[in-house]
A = this chain, B = another copy of it.
């Protein structure tokens, strides 16, 4: 499991083997079964988590009980509830495994220490936070302005690999459209 993470760091940063060793030394390994929660709404997000294999989703529960999915996080990405983690306050959202997933976790203290010791890791983290901000902005614009058809086409264009790994109701909960509308769009896209 560590090897996959080391490969990720090697291909995304100029960190030395020794520095990478420092990062992996404090990592806790975790295994999540399908549907198992990494974070429950109301709990404090105590860990920064790297997904080595598998797929997770971050979601909130609307007043009417429906799930709204904010984000899918596949292998080789990081996941946390940023507000809860940054301020160590209860989270408004849930994080759960869509597939059986292997993860590596650091507590905020452990990770903050690494960030202080390793400027290259700090740089990577800032890049990822920036990118996540840009993506959220673009996603907000799509959710506000696109038609259901455009939302679906955007999604399969942006995440072609995820389509076969997700149940339809989760794609609908991510796009903010009903399962009925999603089914209609998919049907209209079938070759005749």
Contact = CB atoms under 8 A, between A and B. Distances in A.
User: Interface size class for chain A?
Assistant: 20 to 34
B137 A70 contact: yes
Interface of A: 60, 62-64, 66, 68-70, 82-83, 86, 92-93, 129-130, 132-134, 136-141, 143-147, 150, 176
20 contacts: A60-B141, A62-B146, A63-B145, A63-B146, A63-B147, A66-B145, A68-B144, A70-B144, A82-B133, A82-B137, A83-B133, A83-B134, A86-B130, A93-B137, A129-B129, A132-B133, A133-B136, A136-B137, A136-B140, A145-B176
Contacts of A92: 138, 141
A80 to B, nearest CB: 11
A149 to B, nearest CB: 11
**Interface SS of chain A: helix, strand, loop or mixed?**
helix
